[in-house]
């Protein structure tokens, strides 16, 4: 169950705050090929997360960190950071809007992230970071399945009868934290 109060932050807010703090306190040069955050920075960031992504190494790329891939697109879509050329390389720099975000109350921050996710994030870019089938390409199927379910009925994902739904949402776990 997700509860947002003025005093208790959700793990997504805590992890997003750690992500932002890391970006603010470290020079972040983006990779040349995909313009992603480097594996070295992601590896260090992963250690600070509420639930670190398992089985990663210093060379693990951004598309293998679903939560960081989402955060990366949220900071760009929400105009909290921007890509800027500096000394011949592309880096992430905070914008004035970042301070406005940081001044928000926890519930307002969550709603900002939710709105940014649904309205300002470039979904084509978000999906481009995946190999094979992106989990986002299944959203329409998931929503169609949910719309056919009986209102108020619990969905037991461990139930063998719900195997189809469990498989549909399996790779969406990190993204379900925000919605």
pLDDT above 70 (res 156): no
- What the block records as the tokens of 101 is 């975000």
Mean pLDDT of 129-142: 64
**pTM score, two decimals?**
0.76
Domain assignment present for 4: no
pLDDT above 80 (res 27): yes
pLDDT above 90 (res 144): no
Are 14 and 74 in contact by the 8 Å Cβ rule? The answer is: no
Are 85 and 74 in contact by the 8 Å Cβ rule? The answer is: no
pLDDT of residue 21: 98
Q: 176 vs 33, which has greater pLDDT? A: 33
Domain assignment present for 36: yes
pLDDT of residue 1: 45
Domain that holds residue 99: 11-176
Of 43, 62, 63, 40, nearest to 52 (Cα)? 43
Domain assignment present for 5: no
Percent of all residues in the chain with a pLDDT value above 70, rounded to a whole number: 74
If one counts the domains in the chain, the total is 1
pLDDT of residue 145: 78
Domain assignment present for 2: no
**Helix, coil or strand: residue 89:** strand
**Taken in order 179, 36, 80, 7, is the CA torsion positive or negative?**
positive
Question: Is residue 164 packed enough to be buried (19+ CB in 10 Å), middle (13-18) or exposed (0-12)?
Answer: exposed
Domain assignment present for 28: yes
Domain assignment present for 6: no
**Taken in order 168, 125, 122, 113, is the CA torsion positive or negative?**
positive
Domain assignment present for 3: no
Q: How many residues does the chain have?
A: 179
Domain assignment present for 170: yes
């Amino acid at each position: 169950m997700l509860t947002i109060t003025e005093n208790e932050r959700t793990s997504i807010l805590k992890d997003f705050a750690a992500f932002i703090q890391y970006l603010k306190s470290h020079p972040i040069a983006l990779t040349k090929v995909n313009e992603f955050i480097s594996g070295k920075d992601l590896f260090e960031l992963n250690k600070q997360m509420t639930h670190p992504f398992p089985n990663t190494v210093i060379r693990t790329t951004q598309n293998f960190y679903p939560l960081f891939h989402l955060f990366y697109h949220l900071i760009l879509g929400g105009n909290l950071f921007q890509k800027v050329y500096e000394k011949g390389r592309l880096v992430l720099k905070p914008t004035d809007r970042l301070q406005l975000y940081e001044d928000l109350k926890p519930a307002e921050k969550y709603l900002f992230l939710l709105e940014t996710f649904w309205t300002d994030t470039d979904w084509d870019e978000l999906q481009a970071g995946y190999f094979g089938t992106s989990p986002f390409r299944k959203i329409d199927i998931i929503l169609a399945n949910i719309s056919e379910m009986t209102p108020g009925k619990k969905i037991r994902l461990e139930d063998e009868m719900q195997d189809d739904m469990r498989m549909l949402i399996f790779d969406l776990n990190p993204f379900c934290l925000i919605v």
